[in-house]
Structure 1
Amino acid sequence: MPAIEVLPRTATTALVTVVLPCFNEESVLRETHSRLTRALRPGRRVAYEILYVDDGSTDGTWSLIEEFASTSESVRALRLSRNFGHQAGCLAGLKEAAGDATVVIDADLQDPPELIPEMVARWWDGWSVVSARRTGRLGEGVLKRASAFAYYRVLNGISDHPVALDTGDFRLLDRSVVDLLADMGDHELFLRGAISWAGLPETVVEYQRDPRASGESKYTVRKMLELSRRGVISGSALPVRATTAVGLASMASAAGLGLVRRDPEAARTACALGVLAVAIGVLGEYVNATLRHVQGRPPFVVRERIHPRQPAAAPRAVLAGAAR
């Protein structure tokens, strides 16, 4: 893996790629594109390109993306062969991004495109990572807000490195960070964890997350659990180590209970089997993650490209510029 060199922003004009992973967003995508193009308003120092990543949509999402791209060469797109998942869609966009910096933002308008110019201004000041921190989550139930609050703090507590609290994948990443993530070879990328692991200079801008403008969340309970599992497995060895402590404590408790009931052997055996089952399950998760890595399969397959990435020396298409 190449070493990272963080360079100061000295160029008179820089390109920022805005990556939007999409999965069945037909009902909201036209409004998203309209707000995005208005937010990326003209300026002198920064030009933008928009990169849509269709993660195997089955509705009219790709047709809309084709329509947007037909009106501007600065609107580019990837179409994946099937639904590989949100993190794979983000990674596909990062690998394809041509910008000096890249912003990842969801297409459902819960994250405001209008915040991007402020993030770019922070990047221009020298920050390698600009994360958007949620101060509120409108339109989400108490259980969702509570579980998200708890998850980030538990993850930060058990992780081998600090993890930014209350931040999702809505971030601006310097070219050096994008190249690092693209070259990592992590087939089960947990984007926010990998960014925190890098430990590069990071600042935050705060915002209140809006309800979805239209449609339903594509993050089902199963997908949220999978993302949570990936975050824990990729960032901490604590679950494996915890089984030893749990096993010892359980054995001690079972031994005491067995002595009271005058059947210590049965109690110890039952407890040991339970602890063994938990330990095997936890270890199995790490073994499965290792298997996925050594299989060497790509994390996504690109079916189609619109306005594919050009060599670095080629002229850049300019959609709009930052206000700063």
Structure 2
Amino acid sequence: MLQERRVYDNRRPVLGVVVPCYNEAEVLARTHTRLTRVLEGLTGFEYELIYVDDGSSDGTWAVINSLAGERCSVRGLRLSRNFGHQAACLAGLRESVGDAVVVIDADLQDPPELIPELAALWRDGWSVVSARRRSRDGETLFKRASAYAFYRLLNSLSDHSLALDTGDFRLVDRELVALLTGVPDKNLYLRGAVSWFGLPETSVTYDRDARQAGESKYTLRKMLALSRRGLLAGSVAPLRLSTYVGTAVLTGGCAAALMQRNARLLARPGAFGAHAIALGVVGEYLHAVFRQVQGRPDYVVQDRLGCADRPATVTSAPPSRQSRKERVAL
């Protein structure tokens, strides 16, 4: 455990909570009730609660509108269309002015009651406190098995260690928020980027609950897209796949030529498959480069809700209120 604790002069630190939402009108009021109960009972902190509507087509924005009118600590952000979960998380991080920021989904699968434990570990000096899933209630065997395999595959292929069995439910320090929101990468994979910076990181384990209402918005197509983004962003292994496949095909062709003396029957289809895979992998990276050089924003904000006297919206790389050395006392 770290031996340093964060201390502040003449003020309490601000804990920001970012809640990305996509068609969550059914559950959002319950989510708000549990979140505010936890945050108001959190001693030693001020708090801000930011709901990000990621282009919902139901009444999500209307619910956020009513919640933001109740108190100045609650704000709303509406994106012009559905840009995706990672973009919504990034938008909330850029909007937040908290000294530490928690990202949590709106479906109540991740318990808000875990936030005080995350905040306590941040007080002890950790820059990142991730919530690691011990069990996943209400999810299919396929989803549990595929998630388990993906995290371990990505960790084995990645150029740096990643937190296993961990989604976007975590607390990050203002220093890391500034780094994340200042990264120029398009289609940023937040889960991998958090670990890439190498700041002090710990985790707590919890049992993930079933959804409280509605249906999961992470379809198989979206899960595959997120997995692809994570693999391309965190590893060069796919780029080297063509070398591995080419070597295997060449070895197989040589073996067939020696054993059957008719290498053409096996070598030609193998060579064609190897070339196709190689072109596909290169195409993925070219597409990522194309998205990067286009220079389009990660998202477009259509509306903001909140008190007129709220802090000004931070920039893409928000400065901390105090430097890390000033905020951390031995």
Query: Counterpart of 2:181?
Result: 182
Deviation at 1:73, TM superposition (A): 1.1
The change in CA–CA distance for 1:288 and 1:114 in structure 2 (over 3 A counts) is: same
| SS of residue paired to 2:155 | helix
Matches within 5 A, 1:49-64: 49-64=48-63
Please name the residue that 2:244 is paired with.
245
Query: Alignment partner of 2:6: what SS?
Result: coil
Alignment match, 1:10: 7
1:119 is matched by which residue type in structure 2? L
Partner of 2:311: 310
Contact 1:13 1:44 in 2 (8 A): no
Q: d(CA) in 1 for partners of 2:127 and 2:247?
A: 44
Q: What does residue range 258-297 of structure 1 map to in structure 2 within 5 Å?
A: 258-297=257-296
- Per the alignment, residue 318 of structure 1 pairs with none
Amino acid at match of 1:34: T
The one-letter amino acid of 2:184's match is G
Q: Could you list the per-position Cα deviations for residues 59-81 of structure 1 after superposition, in whole angstroms to 9, with x for gaps in the alignment?
A: 00000000000111110111000
Equivalent AA in structure 2 for residue 145 of structure 1 = R
State the identity as a percent: 57
Partner in structure 2 of residue 254 of structure 1: 253
> In the alignment, what sits opposite 1:81?
80
Does 1:204 pair with 2:203? yes
Deviation track 1:148-203 (CA, whole Å, cap 9, x = no partner) reads 11111111000000011011000000000000000001211111100011111011
Tell which deviates more after alignment, 59-68 or 253-262. Answer: 253-262
Per-residue CA deviation, residues 101-139 of structure 1 (Å, 9 max, x unaligned), is 100000000000011111111101111000001000001
- Between the aligned partners of 1:38 and 1:77, the Cα distance in structure 2 is 19
CA–CA separation in structure 2 for the residues paired with 1:98 and 1:15: 8
Task: Give the match for residue 230 of structure 2.
Answer: 231
| Mapped contact 2:42–2:116 kept (Cα < 8 A) | no
Q: Distance in 2 between matches of 1:20 and 1:299?
A: 17
In the other structure, the counterpart of 1:97 is 96
Paired with 1:8 and 1:237, the residues of 2 have a C-alpha distance of 38
CA distance in structure 2 between the aligned counterparts of 1:257 and 1:301, rounded to whole angstroms: 56
SS at the partner of 2:273? helix
Work out whether residues 258 and 266 of structure 1, in 8 Å CA contact, stay in contact via their aligned partners in 2.
no
CA contact (8 A) 1:53 1:79 kept: yes
Aligned to 2:323: none
TM-score (norm 1): 0.91
Q: 1:272, 1:110 → 2: CA distance? A: 47
Partner amino acid for 2:118? M
1:17–1:97 CA contact under 8 A, matched in 2:
yes
Opposite residue 264 of structure 1, the aligned amino acid is A
CA contact (8 A) 1:131 1:171 kept: yes
Q: Residue in 2 aligned with 1:222?
A: 221
Amino acid at match of 1:183: G
Is 1:168 aligned to residue 167 of structure 2?
yes
Whole-Å Cα distance in 2 between the matches of residues 42 and 168 of structure 1?
Answer: 25
Note the C-alpha offset of 1:269.
Answer: 2.6
**Which amino acid in the other structure matches residue 311 of structure 2?**
Q
> For residue 7 of structure 2, what is the amino acid of its counterpart?
T
> TM-score, length-normalised on structure 2?
0.90
Moved over 4 A (4+): 258-261
The residue type equivalent to 1:169 in the other structure is: D
Cα distance in structure 2, aligned partners of 1:150 and 1:176: 31
- Mapped partners of 1:16, 1:173: distance in 2: 10
Which whole-Å CA distance do the structure 2 matches of 1:81 and 1:106 have between them?
Answer: 20
Structure 1 unaligned regions, length at least 5: 1-6, 314-324
> 1:236 Cα deviation (Å)?
0.2
CA contact (8 A) 1:133 1:165 kept: yes
Maintained 8 Å contact 2:95/2:313: no
Residue 133 (structure 1) aligns with: 132
Would the alpha carbon gap of residues 206 and 239 (structure 1) be closer, same or farther in structure 2, given more than 3 Å must change? same
Structure 2 counterpart of 1:302, which letter? V
Q: Deviations 1:31-82 (Å, cap 9, x if unpaired)? A: 1011111111345421111000000000000000000001111101110000
Residue deviations 1:211-241, cap 9 Å, x none? 0001000000000000000000000001111
Q: Is 264-273 or 53-62 further displaced after alignment?
A: 264-273
In structure 2, the CA distance between the partners of 1:99 and 1:256, relative to structure 1 (3 Å rule), is: same
Give the whole-Å Cα distance in 2 for the aligned partners of 1:92 and 1:43: 25
Amino acid at match of 2:222: K
Q: Please, which runs of 5 or more residues in structure 2 have no aligned partner?
A: 315-330
Q: Which whole-Å CA distance do the structure 2 matches of 1:133 and 1:227 have between them?
A: 18
Alpha-carbon shift at residue 10 of structure 1 (Å): 1.6
Matched residue of 2:26: which SS? helix
